[in-house]
Amino acid sequence: MTEPLVLLVEDDAGVRRVLRTTIEAQGCRVIEAATGADALRRMTAERPDLVLLDLGLPDRDGLELIREWRGWTAVPILVLSARGDEATKIRALDLGADDYVTKPFAGGELLARLRAALRRNERRGAPPVFESEGLRIDAAARLATIKGQPVKLSRREWDVLRLLVLDAGKVVGHRQILEKVWGPAQAEQSQYLWVYIGHLREKLEPDPARPRFILTEPGIGYRLVRGEDEQG
Partner 1 sequence: MQDDDGRPAPEALLAEAAAERRGKLKVFLGAAPGVGKTYTMLEAGQARRREGVDVVIGVVETHGRRETLAMVSDLEVLPRREIDYRGRQLEEMDLDAVLARQPRLVLVDELAHTNAPGSRHPKRYQDVAELLDAGIDVYTTLNIQHLESLNDVIAQITRIRVRETLPDSVLETADQIELVDLTPEDLIKRLREGKVYLGDQASRALRHFFSPGNLTALRELALRQAAARVDDQVVQYMRAHAIAGPWPVGERLLVCVGPGPSAPRLVRAASRIAERLHARWFAIHVETLHEQHLDEAARDQIHATLRLAEQLGAETLSLQAADPADAIVAAAAERNVTRIVIGQSRRGRLQAILRGSPVDRLLRRVGPVEVHVLPDIEGGEVVASPRWRRPGPIDPGPFGWSGLMVAGITGLAHLVAGAIGPGTPTLALLYIGAVTASALSFGLLPSLFTAIAATLAFNFFFMPPLYRFTVADPANILTLIVFLGIAVLLSGLAARSRLLAERARRRESDAATLYAFAAKLAGVRLLDDLLWAVVHQLALMLKRGVVLLTPDEEGHLLVRSGYPPDDRLTEAERAAAQWSWDQGRPAGRGTDTLPGAERCFLPLRTISGPVAVVGLDGPAPSGDVRRLLDALCDQAAVAIERIRLADDLDEASVKAQSEHLRGLLFTSISHDLRTPLSSIMGAATTLRRDGEKLAPAARDDLLLSIEEEGERLNAFVGNLLDMTRLESGALEPRRQWVAMSEVVATALRRAGRLLKAQEVKVTVEPGLPPLRLDHALMEQVVINLLDNARKFAPAGSVIRIDIRRRGDRIETDVTDEGPGIPAAERAQVFDKFYRIRGGDQQVAGTGLGLAICKGFVEVHGGRVEILPGPGDRGTTVRIGLPIDPMAPAPPEVSDDD
Q: Indicate the residue among 47 and 150 with the shorter CB distance to partner 1.
A: 150
**Smallest separation, CB 156 to partner 1 (Å):** 6
In the bound state with partner 1, the residue whose beta carbon lies nearer, of 27 and 218, is: 218
Nearest CB to partner 1, comparing residues 43 and 225: 225
Q: Are 31 and 5 in contact (CB under 8 A)?
A: yes
H/E stretch holding 179 reads helix 174-182
Residues lying near partner 1 in the complex (CB under 8 A) are found at 83-84, 86-87, 104, 106, 152, 154-156, 174, 190-196, 198-199, 202-203, 209-211, 215-216, 218-219
Q: Which is nearer to partner 1, 139 or 193 (CB)?
A: 193
Count of all residues that appear for the chain in the document = 232
Smallest distance from partner 1 to CB 211, Å: 6
Contact 93, 173 (CB under 8 A): yes
Alpha-carbon span 156 to 94, nearest angstrom: 23
Q: Decide: 6 and 49 in contact? Cβ < 8 Å.
A: yes
Nearest distance from residue 226's CB to partner 1, in Å? 15
In the complex, minimum distance from the CB of residue 197 to partner 1, in angstroms, rounded to a whole number: 9
CB of 171 closer than 8 Å to CB of 157: no
First to last CA, the chain: 24
